[in-house]
Amino acid sequence: MKGLVDEIKHHLNGNTPLFILKLDETMGVTTWEDTRNALSLLECSADALLFTTTENIEWAREFCFPRREPIDYSPVGLYYDTVLALTSRQKNENSYNPQIFRDILEECKPHEFCMKIFTHAFSANPKRFQSSPTSTLQALPLPKPLELIARKVFKFSYNDLPKEYKSCLLYLAIFPPGREIRRSTLIGRWVAEGLIFHDDWPNSVHRANRCFDELIDRWLVYPADIGVTGKVKSCMVSDLVHEFITKIARKQHIVETRLSHHLARHFSIFNDLRLRSSDRIDKFFEVLSASSRVSVLKVLDLEGCQCFGGKKQRYLKVICAKMLLLKYLSLKGTDVTQLPTEISNLRELEVLDIRMTMVPESSTANVLLLKLKRLLAGQIIYPSPSSSNTGTVIARGGEISSVQIPEKIEKMLNLEVLSNVKVRRSQDLKDIGRLCQLRKLGVVVDDKGSHFKNLLQMISDVHESLRSLSITIPTPRWEGSPSEGDELQQGSLNLKLRHPPKLLESLSISGTTQKVHLLLPLFANDGNNKLVKVTLCSISLNQVNLEVFAKLPKLQCVRLRNITCAESMLTFKDGFKSLKYLLLEGCNLLSCIVFGNGAARELEKMVLSFTSIESIHGIEALEKLQELELNNNKSRLLSSFDDAKQIAKLTLRGTLLEQADLQILAKKPKMRCLVLLDKSCVVGQITFNKNEFPKLNLLAVDCSSITKIIFTGGSAPKLEKIIWSSFTVISGIDKLPRLKELEFKGDHIPKEVEETIRNSNNIIRLKHDQPDNQDQANGDAWEDGDDYARCSFC
């Protein structure tokens, strides 16, 4: 030992050495003390870092000098440190004993799901250390199964919830497990059912939103879709939690045991239905038609149901005649083709959703519902711009499906949300200006000076409540650019916004008319501007327009859809200080994007879809860019991101990559998530070789052209989860040391995968999503704003 010390002294040259030693359980504390004494012969300051793979904390603690807690990099250590940080303010209390936390987390091993729920319970209420499930967990038989541990930890978190929050959680039992449930749907239904009730609708909605966030914070439900501001737009319930809440809900008679999920999710939880599990939704309408009683149902959610075809359109009249207590009616995505005049009989109605239907514009003209809070209608489809043979640009606005503004809307003073309503006359805008509680508005206005002036007057009238605004200006097809005389005439409008909206966070403007250029500065000149999201559709964008938004202090998301530019290059100059998300869709006349010095330094995610962009410059300066999504772009565009070493998540669709391209991606040092969707690759077989994708922990593949994926030894050493479909065969998963979860989308799980799981030393959870269970509701989600950050694969 002395000889080694002398050799080290010879090489020190005055530097402070660091010794890294690997310990195993054959080494005693006495040996470590002898080593430490020998190192003292160096007669200088020295550090020693010891590491071990043992799980014995008590043994590891003996080697710390001076005496302290060892750093634990296991999942138990990670969550233990988190709990200690959360409960740090309670350290001086007599009953505070941090060892209890470690004991509980040790009992949760190896199920990280349980550790997460336990830790999130402390995040919601750090004072819960006085009551813990330690003894209960210790009493469980060995080996401790996941279901039993999860049930105890779930109850630990569930019992701490307020009573109304418990009811809202149990309410989720009516939805199938794993189904994506939108926040707006839950909030509207919870309030309509009376599960959350306060003085008025706004306060009830506010409380319901807090409940939703609390369930997310506790990880009792987990986020499925997250917006640009970090707000969770939709959630899912895991299989285990769904099993627990279903049992509790049935005991408390919150869920009707006779109804299966395919029926229960359509109705109020408190109902007088006489339906069997095998019945279809048509049976409900037959029973309703034959009954002479008025139904007590408050919620009828028929989203996606095709039950009104042919003569069955009369069912809607039956609803209006027999369900007079109804508060929530969703016909979204149904085959309804007419809204009967009897709809005004539903005097208690608070939410009416007729989006994605073939209901004609005039159907809403005579609607008068004094308690209505949300009128959700129409949809907007944005086609890609095209070019003629002569090179003349033909710009088209979106194909608009909207409904007329009710003639007596000024009497519907409780309205908070109006989506895709069409202005017929200037008086309509004046009437909307009287709705002092209006928070979200989507309006379609003609390209007329009078409409523009009244639109701005209306916005000024509701400037204290408006948070989201969508303006669509449908224009006839035109070729080339407008004449000089037209521009002068438009400039003479002298549009002014007397009172800019104080709380406006989301702005969307669509239309090819040059008047759009007069509108844009009106929403960006206020020094206290709160705009977070800006969407520009089908407009001719110039550099001046872009610089107008560059100065907005809180702007986090910019979406450009089907825009045209005077030049083929779009330049982000100095500004966009808070920009995190940039989305370009259908910009087929744009070939280059440039990020100048100091521009968009906070950018985290970029989505490019159906564009003709060939190169992007300045990417190397975007140090926070972590997520990239390419949909049907030119494959060489990917080379613009060669210097983007910080990319952590990459989603590809329609890129037609080859094996060589994937090997370039494999060298990305921080790549953690790779999603390969339809036509992402042209090769049938992908091989993950040794030392490739060193940080990858999630792989999702849903591409018909990829027939086989092979993992060789040493490839993707940190891969924890694989999602794949029946198109692809997975081979070599036994060579993935950290694999924890497999999710298969298809009819039959491959036998090779089942056998590998049986023989694996790891605990691998297998989830099977059969086609019958993949009936997620899709469609226009305007009510919540555009959804920019999708997290379904994460």
Look at residue 792 in the predicted model and tell me its pLDDT: 38
* Residue that wins the pLDDT comparison between 54 and 158: 158
- In tens, the pLDDT along 181-212 reads 999 999 999 999 999 988 889 899 999 999 99
d(CA 223, CA 790): 10
pLDDT tens-place string over residues 270-328: 777 777 777 888 888 888 888 877 788 999 999 999 989 888 999 999 999 999 999 99
pLDDT on residue 775? 41
Q: How confident is the model over 348-383, as pLDDT tens digits?
A: 999 999 999 999 999 999 999 999 999 999 865 544
Q: Are strands 328-330 and 649-653 parallel, antiparallel or unpaired?
A: unpaired
> Cis bond leading into 110, ω under 30°?
yes
Q: How confident is the model at residue 588 (pLDDT cuts 50, 70, 90)?
A: confident
Cβ distance 404 to 364 under 8 Å? Answer: yes
Between residues 762 and 441, which one has the greater pLDDT?
441
pLDDT tens for 534-554 read: 999 988 888 888 888 888 889
Q: What local confidence, expressed as pLDDT, does residue 787 receive?
A: 42
Residue 655 has pLDDT above 60, yes or no: yes
pLDDT, residue 331, reads: 95
Q: What is the radius of gyration, based on Cα positions, of the chain?
A: 30
Grouping H, G, I as helix, E, B as strand and the rest as coil, residue 421 is strand
Confidence of residue 140 (pLDDT cuts 50, 70, 90): low
CB 569 within 8 A of CB 593: yes
Specify the pLDDT at position 136. Answer: 55
Q: What is the pLDDT of residues 455-481, one digit of tens each?
A: 999 999 999 999 999 999 886 544 444
Q: Name, in order, each residue with C-beta under 8 angstroms of 178's C-beta and a sequence gap of 6 or more.
A: 236, 237, 238, 239, 242, 769, 773
Q: Which range (53-67, 169-183, 211-225, 599-613) has the least confidence?
A: 53-67
Torsion (CA) 561, 562, 566, 570 in degrees, nearest 10 = 40
How far apart, in whole angstroms, are the C-alpha atoms of residue 443 and residue 440?
10
Question: How many angstroms separate the Cα of 742 from the Cα of each of 288, 654, 709, 756?
Answer: 44, 25, 14, 11
pLDDT of 647 above 80: yes
CB of 602 closer than 8 Å to CB of 581: no
Rounded alpha-carbon distances, angstroms, from residue 526 to 520, 544, 677? 12, 17, 42
**pTM for this predicted structure:** 0.82
More reliable by pLDDT, 689 or 45? 689
Could you give the angle at which helices 163-171 and 201-217 cross, rounded to 10 degrees?
80
Please report the pLDDT score of residue 381 as a whole number. Answer: 54
pLDDT band per the 50, 70, 90 thresholds, residue 789: very low
Taking alpha carbons only, the member of 174, 198, 185, 180 closest to residue 329 is: 185
Per DSSP, the three-state class of 729 is strand
Angle between helices 146-158 and 239-251 (to 10 degrees): 60
Q: Percentage of the chain surpassing pLDDT 70? A: 87
**Which strand (E) or helix (H) includes residue 708?**
strand 708-711
Determine the Cα–Cα distance for residues 400 and 379; give it in Å rounded to an integer.
7
> Is the confidence at residue 388, as pLDDT, over 70?
no
Chain center to CA of 342: 38
Whether residue 374 contacts residue 400, with contact meaning beta carbons closer than 8 Å, is answered with no
Res 271: pLDDT: 76
Percent share of the chain, pLDDT over 90: 39
Residue from 303, 295, 305 nearest 270 by CA = 295
Render pLDDT for 227-248 as a digit per residue (tens, 0 to 9): 877 889 999 998 889 999 999 9
Tokens at residue 121, please? 């319970």
DSSP string, 583-621: EEES-TT--EEEE-TTBSTT--EEEEES----EEE-GGG
Residue among 727, 739, 787 at smallest CA distance from 763: 739
Higher local confidence (pLDDT), 693 or 495:
693
Window from 166-170, 186-190, 251-255, 724-728 with minimum mean pLDDT: 251-255
Structure confidence by residue, pLDDT tens digits, 551-573:
888 999 999 998 888 778 888 88
Q: Are 432 and 441 in contact (CB under 8 A)?
A: yes
- What pLDDT was estimated at residue 400? 59
Instruction: Please report the pLDDT score of residue 413 as a whole number.
Output: 95
Cα 618–Cα 622–Cα 625 angle in degrees, nearest 5: 130
> Minimal CA–CA distance to 205: which of 432, 413, 373, 419?
373
pLDDT at 187: 96
Rounded alpha-carbon distances, angstroms, from residue 608 to 588, 613, 659: 11, 9, 22
* Whether pLDDT at 93 is above 70: no
Mapping DSSP to helix (H, G, I), strand (E, B) and coil, where does residue 432 land?
helix
Q: Is the pLDDT reported for residue 45 higher than 50? A: yes
Rounded CA separation 270/253 (Å): 9
Q: What pLDDT score does 172 carry?
A: 94
Stretch 569-588: mean pLDDT:
89
Joined tokens for residue 387: 């070019």
**Whether pLDDT at 784 is above 80:** no
CB 382 within 8 A of CB 561: yes
Confidence at residue 451, expressed as pLDDT on a 0 to 100 scale: 86
| Identity of residue 739 | L
Cite the DSSP H helix spans in 172-220.
183-193, 201-217
**DSSP string for 454-510:** HHHHHHHHTTTT--EEEEE-----EESPPPHHHHHHHHTT----SS--SS--EEEEE
Q: How far is it between the farthest Cα atoms of the chain?
A: 101
- Phi and psi, residue 343, nearest 5°: -60, -25
Measured in whole angstroms, the distance separating CA 43 from the mean position of its chain's CA atoms is 58
CB 432 within 8 A of CB 418: yes
Closest alpha carbon to 503 in 449, 467, 454, 460: 467
Query: What is the mean predicted confidence (pLDDT) over 594-613?
Result: 90
| Closest C-alpha among 641, 575, 649, 635 to residue 605 | 649
Rounded distance between C-alpha atoms, residue 762 and residue 270, angstroms? 45
Q: Environment class of residue 767 by beta-carbon count within 10 Å: exposed (0-12), middle (13-18) or buried (19+)?
A: middle
313 neighbors 337 (Cβ within 8 angstroms): yes
What integer pLDDT is reported at residue 475 of this predicted model?
Answer: 63
The pLDDT value given to residue 390: 31
pLDDT, mean over the chain:
83
Residue 7 phi/psi, 5° resolution?
-65, -40
- DSSP reduced 3-state for 482: coil
Phi and psi at 401, nearest 5°, equal: -115, 110
